[in-house]
Structure 1
Amino acid sequence: MDTEETTEAEETGETAEFSLPRSRRANERLHALIPGGAHTYAKGDDQYPENLAPVISHGHGAHVWDVDGNRYIEYGSGLRSVSLGHAHPRVVQAVRREIDRGSNFVRPSIVEVEAAERFLATVPTAEMVKFAKNGSDVTTAAVRLARAVTGRPRVAVCGDHPFFSVDDWFIGTTPMSAGIPAATTELTVTFPYGDLAATEELLTRYRDEVACLILEPAGHTEPPPGYLAGLRELADRHGCVLVFDEMITGLRWSEAGAQGLYGVVPDLSTFGKALGNGFAVSALAGRRELMEWGGLRHSGDRVFLLSTTHGAETHSLAAATAVQTTYVEEGITARLHALGERLAAGVREAAAGMGVGEHLVVRGRASNLVFATLDEHRRPSQEYRTLFLRRLLAGGVLAPSFVVSSALDDADIDRTVDVVAQACAVYRKALDAADPAPWLAGRAVKPVFRRSV
């Protein structure tokens, strides 16, 4: 490295340029064959600093290795799905056992009823359950069922929550609405989280038109006192179905999800992500009176609720059963909270110590932490997020969020906090310069939902 390069590195706080040549070539191969270079937009390389999007080789526990041979402490594993850590022995053992016995048959397997019994024992607020492969399948099934039961066309979604489904009824409301007819989108209306008066006004405006209210029962903040119970009362009074999307809150808030923690029972709820520890499984659960509309033991018109060839693959259902058993027997939810609390406290202390405590902000429930990067005016900044992610990656921390898995240990948390402190030192320099550009080394990371490329 020549003198000019050394001086630049010193100014940006980098002792050696971090690069991922093999990952960069692998990303080019991905883009050549797969639209967007990933099968989930949130995993796209546009979500990472330019040329610093690791392509993963393998993972174990709380660590992953990229194709360049770098090891990272990983957060947000599998977009929150791998909450027990990669290749968890109890889950792997259950999956291997079922794979050796066959994975899919022309009739239901005994594993299906065992998985259903385990689920309903873990989530006792539900009376019936049907499994599928991904979250969109079950949220759309909930919407379809609500429309069938009520005979109403409109869906009311919480506008403060970022994602419910890949299907038209929701995606049409996002900036990525290309290809979706306006007539479909017009049937979806939004209500604000935490505001019962605004929700009642919406239900009154569209009297006898709203089939369901669908929301995440909790997010980065706790529900206001009485809010979920108030939604329950509104839904009952206006004759619509209350649907809790528990993709994230399921297992992470309590073994029975947010409904188990807060004691408010929805008509329908949807689970996924942590349910399979990375294996593809999701669930629609709810009151028998509603769920039977999708079955054979009711007198009304049949509802095409869910019918998935791979929804009952034995190894995925075995994984779900093992995950729930592990959560209950080993107190996993409590461990996630303890790890998250330790991490949040360490990050906040490190940020404050470097003078960026009001710019790097940790938010959310301890088991589901995210961070916000704010500029010198305390506005959300993709540029400062880019700077921060670059320094984390260089320090061996892969963290699009700070969502923990139970495989982390105290040493992982301590190492993460040390890397965050180093990143915050650079953050402070950029704030003092009122210009993060010299520390970006390329374009800024981009939001997932945007109209143009």
Structure 2
Amino acid sequence: MDTEATKTPGEFPLPRSQQANERLHSLIPGGAHTYAKGDDQYPENLAPVISHGRGAHVWDIDGNRYIEYGSGLRSVSLGHAHPRVTEAVRRQLDRGSNFVRPSIVEVEAAERFLATVPTAEMVKFAKNGSDVTTAAVRLARAATGRPRVAVCEDHPFFSVDDWFIGTTPMSAGIPAATTELTVSFPYGDLAATDELLSRYQGEIACLILEPAAHAQPFPGSPGRPGTEDLTAAYLAGLRELADRHGCVLVFDEMITGLRWSEAGAQGLYGVVPDLSTFGKALGNGFAVSALAGRRALMERGGLRHSHDRVFLLSTTHGAETHALAAAMAVLTTYVEEGITARLHALGERLAAGVREAAAGMGVGDHLVVRGRASNLVFATLDENGRPSQEYRTLFLRRLLAGGVLAPSFVVSSALDDTDIERTVETVARACAVYRKALDAADPTPWLGGRPVKPVFRRRA
């Protein structure tokens, strides 16, 4: 395959990708191992199957090259095949990846992590985010003796496990008795959270939330003055509520970890949770996650205490040495190369360019860029200002036509100025079509098939 191929994939079928998607569906439920990667998330017959990636670019099996955003569902923040990470992994693979006793790499990785996230006192590694968020919930229940979990209702995902998935439209197979133990609170509303904790006085084991709303920094207009101060004040107020009501405060830092600061949102806003969970960017695509927190709580899952034992985390592959080597290389790269600042600078440049392009084509109120610069998403609104899967389909189709694979505008540090410029040019062309569809009050002629679908829906 010509690795420099620059065909325009949106203008013709992707025959090999279509065939591979059929094979995927015949062998794998949903055609992917993550629902957010399913072909129902892309325009019909335009879901590329990836051959390989390098830096900020990926190539599909039809030979097309794309600028990629949201890489690995936000996990590949340094770009694909980053040399410092891959070299660290290669070195470790030659030494073995899993043993009958802990490897010295486990000590080194824990020390490196805790030096980077100094608000935590102990850490335990696992393979994915669901492992560690569920472990945090179990630990909170054990420590408090309380059954209920309070999740932030404004955040889309916490775990594949029953305590959370039972609250979504995809609750089939989950007993109602389990779901009834999970309640919710709104982000940014301390009074409502206080009322919830009072209503279930002595029953709520923990409050779990993403410490910063990832669609926008805080309820209100993106980037409005004082947003950072509002977020910090809100988190400090939540800390006080948790202390007053005797429950555990858990920060899910899967998205905010490293992207907000090397130490996550807790490092940026100066509010210390009892427990926190990290993943995604931590391994730059390698499978590693972390549960971190106060020693008094974390040790309940250990051997040096007098309480009932908590089956916290016990995973055969949770401490694979090559994944921990990847995590150490990622943490070092972030600190030494100022990656968080670079992500913000790239995101600010991209957001400004996209907003200018959308405004220039008269769709600035319909294609809306939101979020922190290092974690940009976009909304597609119809002629009445309502979220629209049809307009999202139109927009994604035109991006693909320009060689941009972008379910979001989440940047990686591997992007360069040329990538940003090409993306903005592609967005401008997409917005010209968007304007035509708005004028017609009907995007159907530009869809090329069925619209894309939301991940969480009751029926397939």
Question: TM-score, normalising length from structure 1?
Answer: 0.96
Distance 2:452 2:5 in 1: 21
Q: Is the 8 A contact 1:74 1:398 kept in 2?
A: yes
Distance 2:252 2:83 in 1: 29
Q: Is the 8 A contact 1:165 1:171 kept in 2?
A: yes
Give how far 1:448 is off. Answer: 0.1
Distance 1:241 1:234 in 2: 10
Give how far 1:43 is off. Answer: 0.1
May I ask how many residue pairs the two structures share in their alignment? 444
What does 1:222-371 correspond to in 2, within 5 Å? 227-371=234-378
Runs of 5+ consecutive residues of structure 1 not aligned to the other structure: 1-6
Quickly say closer, same or farther: Cα 1:363–1:182, change in 2 above 3 A.
Answer: same
Give how far 1:313 is off. Answer: 0.2
**Hey, which bits of structure 1, 4+ residues long, moved more than 6 A?**
7-12
Q: 1:252-274 CA distances to partner (integer Å, 9 max, x unpaired)?
A: 00000000000000000000000
Distance 2:153 2:219 in 1: 20
Q: Is the 8 A contact 2:126 2:290 kept in 1?
A: yes
Q: 1:112-165 CA distances to partner (integer Å, 9 max, x unpaired)?
A: 000000000000000000000000000000000000000000000000000000
Give how far 1:221 is off. Answer: 5.7
For the residue of structure 2 that corresponds to 1:384, the secondary structure is: helix
Q: Is the 8 A contact 1:194 1:223 kept in 2?
A: no
Q: 1:279-318 CA distances to partner (integer Å, 9 max, x unpaired)?
A: 0000000000000000001111100000000000000000
Give how far 1:18 is off. Answer: 2.5
Q: Give me the identity figure in percent.
A: 90
Quickly say closer, same or farther: Cα 1:429–1:116, change in 2 above 3 A.
Answer: same
Give how far 1:176 is off. Answer: 0.1
* Aligned residue in 2 for 1:3: none
Give how far 1:10 is off. Answer: 22
Distance 1:20 1:9 in 2: 14
Q: 1:368-410 CA distances to partner (integer Å, 9 max, x unpaired)?
A: 0000000000100000000000000010000000000000000
Q: Is the 8 A contact 2:215 2:376 kept in 1?
A: no
For the residue of structure 2 that corresponds to 1:131, the secondary structure is: strand
Distance 1:390 1:329 in 2: 38
Q: Is the 8 A contact 2:215 2:377 kept in 1?
A: no
Q: 1:22-73 CA distances to partner (integer Å, 9 max, x unpaired)?
A: 1000000000000000000000000000000000000000000000000000
Choose the corresponding residue for 2:169, options 156, 168, 175. 175
Distance 1:221 1:45 in 2: 23
Give how far 1:220 is off. Answer: 3.3
For the residue of structure 2 that corresponds to 1:11, the secondary structure is: coil
Q: 1:412-443 CA distances to partner (integer Å, 9 max, x unpaired)?
A: 00000000000000000000000000000100
Q: Is the 8 A contact 2:282 2:330 kept in 1?
A: yes
Choose the corresponding residue for 1:20, options 6, 9, 14. 14
Give how far 1:225 is off. Answer: 11
Q: 1:307-335 CA distances to partner (integer Å, 9 max, x unpaired)?
A: 00000000000000000000000000000
Distance 2:218 2:382 in 1: 29
Distance 2:76 2:172 in 1: 32
Runs of 5+ consecutive residues of structure 2 not aligned to the other structure: 221-233
Give how far 1:19 is off. Answer: 1.7
Give how far 1:9 is off. Answer: 24
For the residue of structure 2 that corresponds to 1:416, the secondary structure is: helix
Q: Is the 8 A contact 2:347 2:376 kept in 1?
A: yes
Quickly say closer, same or farther: Cα 1:225–1:433, change in 2 above 3 A.
Answer: closer
Distance 1:443 1:10 in 2: 26
Q: Is the 8 A contact 1:145 1:293 kept in 2?
A: yes
Distance 1:351 1:281 in 2: 38
Question: TM-score, normalising length from structure 2?
Answer: 0.94
Give how far 1:219 is off. Answer: 1.9
For the residue of structure 1 that corresponds to 2:250, the secondary structure is: strand
Choose the corresponding residue for 1:128, options 116, 122, 133. 122
Are positions 1:431 and 2:438 aligned together?
A: yes
Quickly say closer, same or farther: Cα 1:65–1:221, change in 2 above 3 A.
Answer: closer
Quickly say closer, same or farther: Cα 1:8–1:429, change in 2 above 3 A.
Answer: farther
Distance 2:338 2:295 in 1: 29
Q: Is the 8 A contact 1:295 1:302 kept in 2?
A: yes
Give how far 1:17 is off. Answer: 3.1
* Aligned residue in 1 for 2:107: 113
For the residue of structure 1 that corresponds to 2:6, the secondary structure is: helix
Quickly say closer, same or farther: Cα 1:45–1:223, change in 2 above 3 A.
Answer: closer
